[in-house]
Chains A and B, each alone.
Chain A
């Protein structure tokens, strides 16, 4: 039983990490319909930003948020305006522009750091709590809490604020949104900026867990896509719950089956769900059948 409790805890905490990483991707994918390959690199940039603040400004990794969040928002907005907006009519080219961006960011960081791995320490990272035989690292608990907080806040923001409503309107029907006076281009830029900032948030909170390398972003991107599609496109709740599904699947497969097979199991489950319920568990039915071309 202690085993099971432990594995469930591991899965939920991992789910928190995935939910945190995926929430920005979900926003970008759901609203702008861009398969953003570079989202993992945004997380990576958030991590290196945190490391830079930790090393040069000597602040706690968590405090680095103050710099990293606005930095990535700005970066995301600029990327959208300069690279993605001009390609709006060419969704397939957009995918490859984000792929080019992935390569660019990864290698710029490599060139700047020579690929040296970095780590930060924080008091939080050293602490772990034992609850009835289940050991929980405080950093992971913080990530879980943040994922929950972000999901709630983003849900409220989309539902009640003026900007949030505009974003949802664009996600549902961009021509209609334009007709009722929504500035679609601006919404795209802001959404992409917010998505990038959320990736930065994830990077910041995960820095005390991981060792930084230029390639770390690519380890997150595929599971993050699985989370988004499993949970349901454009559903904040979906991305949150999708994170836990992926986290728990991985933890169970890794522990009870074989760590070497956990990715295979995860993606097999993913494909199965996709076939049975293509719109994801919480997504709007029919979303998956809107092809890339129909968007333009």
Chain B
């Protein structure tokens, strides 16, 4: 173990020498990625970074950006203190030009501040919490949807899809909002509650821990309230447990809508296609959106399959891919990686919805949040996930099923 620290010092000294000698390496456009690559979120950190890698490959195939080859460098962080270390590692040791990420809000929060201390851009493609852009950091922007966009989309779905389908009005509609109790679920659920109450819908809130061994209590509470719609935000494992418990407890509200997860093969395996049929999903746009809604989505899917020999596990990858693509476009347009100039350039951008693979456009608000990045609502239909809202996203021949509940 003492040998390791010694090796570290040797490495540090060696790095100091290469720095002075290796001016040629500065030809590359180095982009550092801060994400969790271990722990419970490792899969999603990796999946997002695959999206970056594909975007970098495509840019390099066209001769790079500003004539420089795009190189993606990874640094792992599972909590804020590791995020700071990751930024120092990427900037101090790897000499990256720009930083990007992040699957987890708390990591994005600490990493972007550390980046600002080093005068570097922090380009956020995924992390959800609204607070991130509300901080007003001058080196920070977010290209993907934030938590309020997810909440808004799920409420739109409730008002425009579910209520008409059930033949109800907002006044006699009862919604149970279930959420996992970390920042992710809480921030979305609070916003859903606010918006639904505004629309006059009756709302009850329930929370659970994503680590809980049993969620029967959460399901029984919801069952007791007899809601028309059960609207839940959670991670993969807790959503699966909730759905399995709902099946066991014969909890079948007229409609169910999952936010964030529940769209993967693994949920299908876990819960079975019969129970899933008709359940609505609010998620990042998936590769199954129509070509007119998300031009190039099919090509992204093909590129992912070619590089990794399988389908994307989570829709975060395509959203990350688009965010990274916008970053590279913006750097090319700004002609520099200087954060003030890059942010000034992206602030002026004005691209309509439907410009990118995910159906996103690009128009930032004052807080540097992209207002044209919206989640999509999909539905489980006979073991497959199909986009159903907004209308333009529906693939040719697609339609919305009944909600499947009795």
Using a CB–CB cutoff of 8 Å, the interface residues on chain A facing chain B are 3, 6-7, 10, 13-14, 17-18, 107, 110, 114-121, 125-126, 128, 130, 135-137, 140, 209-211, 213-216, 218-220, 223, 247, 250-251, 254-255, 258-260, 262-263
Top 6 closest A-B pairs, CB basis? A254-B217, A119-B270, A137-B248, A115-B43, A211-B240, A10-B216
Q: List 30 A-B contacts (CB under 8 A).
A: A3-B224, A7-B220, A14-B216, A17-B213, A17-B214, A107-B38, A110-B39, A114-B43, A115-B40, A117-B237, A119-B269, A121-B272, A128-B248, A128-B249, A135-B250, A136-B248, A137-B244, A211-B237, A211-B240, A213-B237, A218-B211, A219-B213, A250-B217, A251-B216, A254-B216, A255-B217, A255-B220, A259-B221, A260-B181, A260-B207
Chain A residues contacting B211 (CB-CB under 8 Å) are 218-219
Query: Does more than half of chain A's interface fall in helix, strand or loop, or is it mixed?
Result: helix
| B218/A118 in contact, CB under 8 A | no
Asked if A115 and B42 make an inter-chain contact with CB atoms under 8 angstroms apart, the answer reads: yes
With a CB–CB cut-off of 8 A, which chain B residues contact A121?
269-270, 272
Which residue on chain A has the smallest CB distance to residue B224? A3
Q: Which of A110, A126, A254, A263 contacts B272 (CB 8 A)?
A: A126
Chain B residues lying within 8 Å of A107, measured Cβ to Cβ, are 38
- In the assembled complex, which residues on chain B have CB atoms less than 8 Å from the CB atom of A120? 269
Mark interface residues in B294-333 (1 if CB within 8 Å of A CB, else 0).
Answer: 0000000000000000000100000000000000000000
Complex formed: what's the CA distance from A254 to B43 in Å? 30
Compute how far the CA of A187 lies from the CA of B309 in the bound complex, rounded to whole angstroms. 49
Check if B131 is an interface residue, CB within 8 A of chain A.
no
B206 within 8 Å of A (CB atoms):
yes
Q: Would B42 and A114 count as touching, CB distance under 8 A?
A: yes
Which B residue sits closest to A137, measured CB to CB?
Answer: B248
* Closest chain A residue, CB of each to CB of B206: A259
CB pair B216–A210 under 8 Å, yes or no, is no
- Which chain A positions have C-beta within 8 A of B134? none
Give the CA-CA distance A259 to B215 in the complex, in Å: 8
CB contacts (< 8 Å) of A214 on chain B: these are 40
Query: What CA separation (Å) do A107 and B42 show in the bound complex?
Result: 11
- Contacts of B246-270 to chain A: CB distance below 8 A: 247-250, 264, 266-267, 269-270
How many pairs of residues, A versus B, come closer than 8 Å at their CB atoms? Answer: 116
Asked if residues B42 and A250 are in contact (CB atoms below 8 Å), the reply is no
Bound-complex Cα distance A263 to B214 (A) = 11
- Which of B43, B215, B247 contacts A116 (CB under 8 A)? B43
Please tell me if the beta carbons of B218 and A254 are within 8 angstroms of each other in the complex.
Answer: yes
Check A255–B221 contact: CB distance below 8 A. yes
Scan B215-254; emit 1 where CB is below 8 A from any A CB, else 0. Answer: 1111011001000000000001100110011011110000
Contacts of B247 in A (CB 8 A): 126, 128
Q: Which residues of B contact A130 (CB under 8 A)?
A: 250
In the assembled complex, how far is the CB of residue B276 from the closest CB belonging to chain A, in whole angstroms? Answer: 12
Chain A residue nearest to B39 (CB atoms) is A215
- B245: chain A residues within 8 A (beta carbon): 137
Find out whether the CB atom of A211 lies under 8 angstroms from the CB atom of B213: no
Taken together as a complex, chains A and B put the C-alpha atoms of A115 and B45 apart, in Å, by 10
- The answer to whether A259 and B208 have CB atoms under 8 Å apart is yes
CB distance from A34 to the nearest CB of B (A): 23
* Central interface residue in A10, A120, A220, A262, by most chain B CB within 10 Å: A10
